[in-house]
A and B are shown apart, each in its own frame.
Chain A
């Protein structure tokens, strides 16, 4: 049944992808990279144990550290000498953090490859191999992949997400174009790891050329199917995908609906690590936006400063830009481009500044109708403006996925999404406070 309490037509964005997705994928000239910098803090703020000392010689793929909160090994992406620790801005954490500097010796010597496995291996071995290879979600979240598989039972479907619904980004598209077989093999491995019956590769309807490419390889993999979805935003959101493809809903995690969702880039990294023994040391990133000279996808070692990558593709066209890591809907802006490429970064976009003049809210309710999470952004903003935390608690603020649609549709150009994000922080604080108060009462 159509829900008349929500918007019937979905949001179709101008995708700005053509320039980058039609160009060939470039590879950065590694001889120009003097040093790479590996963050010593993981994106969620947890520390990383560093195993190498200053002056130690490392190769491409040498284990240099491991995350403290999850079992995620970190590998060096160039060969050279560990020079020490420097402080650099890290936009994923939101502040300057320590980075391990490795000076490049341009020899590209490779460390011992990882232990490889085959399609006949035990699911437990596959998960262990994923764990050792340090695979994380490459679609933007950076969540450790092994964790999804280790903690899930009764999975019947693995969804491989190639929707890429944010404008500007086209890394997944290029991966599927060049490495279709690797993606399929990786998907098969992930399906085996989850002991699922099917793996579904999901693409947008307008990517018909890719379907042809994939179908050539699919004959050998009977458990794999391709499904196409509409070109709407945010179709690539886990919850939206599970609902659209399988018509299932869940509360917190897809595993409740017996599904695991992974990105195509994650599937490809899995195949390369588990079948070829190459750990995650390089990734492809889309550099685009109307303030970039040449929009292109480029493959670079993890830890390369973004400024260097941008220089490699021709630099900026204007002196003033708004730049962000990822697509324009969800990404937070960055204050400079000196930060380094990390595994979960799929794009760097710089656009010419546009300022929006906001007028008072006319209560049209467009944000309420369009919100894919089904919350009421403008009510949240009004409650936040009037400091009404009690009402915020009732408005399901935590359901927000920060997709940015509420600000996008607002005819008054009000920063609704920003207000909801601030409301989330306030609610989290309030919850923490009441928890502390409760504990105090027990004592």
Chain B
């Protein structure tokens, strides 16, 4: 008779981290399939590229895993193969690779994907101690890195623009970039000149980052993840709610259609993708539930701020990076009991939210009313002439066809 002594409790919930991570990978796989279907309908070369982009990212992170495993192999008694297998299995680099690859547009060169994956895995993840110890989300920082280093290479098409893609206003730019360069930055409720409809923005059948465009599908995946408890609902809800409320205030101040404007904010620039797959990353979130709400609010605030005032077309990844940055600070602030000081916690959350509403609203007012006041008569005349010119051109075209 042998009595084994180990710490209580002697019954455990069956949900495991490994299970959560591989279920998440499966969901990202679904998103990848959606991307493949869409890209194959454009051209076979697009579909193949979408396959290879993810494969390249996954293989690169796998090589990093092996490399780091070989360096850190100390326990000579354990066979190297088994050590490596556990290491790869429990560092969940697959998730990082998928999130990173799906956030890149179709025209990204392979070397950019490789460098980005190397940076994400080696520098952002392993340099800090691997899974569970990294303070920044590897996929988010990999994406930011390639944005800074290879910004002009991240194109929405391969080679030249093929005939059946709707021509873009600004060749090489994604829909978000074009949208943000129209008129006053991010203050417009019109999709004119973008060749996408609101329906396309939510369905995802337009060109952009290969996985980020499927806003509706990502929202469904997010709901599934919340129900299955793969991720916490708090950061997603807090993030989307903050963006919605801030967009509402901005729309009211700038005199835009609030409904359309909110939907544009939620559908563009990979916001839903960031909300469901990036900000929910538990490793880089605070451990307290209060903190999980607060980073959602902070990220929402920063997203809208960067969008309407910052130097980049959109700010989801930057906002999430800032949220990661303040997470340890929030953990310090939330030290103590989780079920008291509720008033204090709510007032912190509400004051960040109010700051977001006030600052973004104020900037919207400044940008539209003070800096760029309503077009004056002479400008109107000019626009009218332009319209007439366009009319004339059309007529010419019609005449040509008739001929």
Contacts and interface: CB of A to CB of B under 8 A. Distances in A.
B347 interface: no
Contact of A407 (B1, B7, B284, B335): B7
A331 B234 CA distance: 34
A365 B288 CA distance: 6
B1 A319 contact: yes
Interface in B1-45: 1-13, 15-20
Contacts of B13: 408-411
Interface in A341-380: 349, 351, 353-356, 359-365, 368-369, 371, 374-376, 378-379
Contacts of A437: none
**How big is chain A's contact interface, by range?**
35 or more
Given A356-B12, A363-B283, A394-B336, A335 B7 contact: no
B151 interface: no
B85 to A, nearest CB: 13
Contacts of B342: 3, 5
B338 A5 contact: yes
A4 interface: yes
Contacts of A396: 336-337
Contacts of B292: 365
A144 interface: no
A391 interface: yes
Interface string B278-297: 00001111111110110000
A245 B18 CA distance: 39
B132 A374 contact: no
A418 B17 CA distance: 19
Given A364-B282, A379-B287, A418-B7, A412 B17 contact: yes
Contacts, number: 169
Given A5-B288, A394-B336, A320 B11 contact: no
Contacts of A190: none
Interface in B298-337: 331, 334-337
A402 B401 CA distance: 84
Contacts of B17: 359, 362, 411-412
B232 interface: yes
A414 to B, nearest CB: 10
A413 interface: yes
Contacts of B18: 359
A132 B287 CA distance: 51
Interface string A8-41: 0000011000000000000000000000000000
A321 B2 contact: yes
Interface residues of B, number: 47
Given A5-B342, A328-B11, A374-B340, A395 B16 contact: no
B131 interface: yes
B294 to A, nearest CB: 11
A363 B285 contact: yes
Contacts of A410: 12-13
A316 interface: yes
Contacts of A332: 8
Given A13-B11, A328-B11, A391-B335, A369 B289 contact: yes
A336 interface: yes
A160 interface: no
A4 B131 CA distance: 28
A333 interface: yes
B12 A408 contact: yes
A373 to B, nearest CB: 8
B9 A411 contact: no
B339 interface: yes
24 contacts: A5-B338, A7-B289, A167-B11, A351-B10, A359-B16, A359-B18, A359-B132, A360-B132, A362-B131, A363-B284, A364-B282, A365-B282, A365-B288, A368-B288, A368-B338, A369-B289, A374-B338, A376-B287, A376-B335, A394-B336, A408-B12, A411-B13, A411-B16, A415-B7
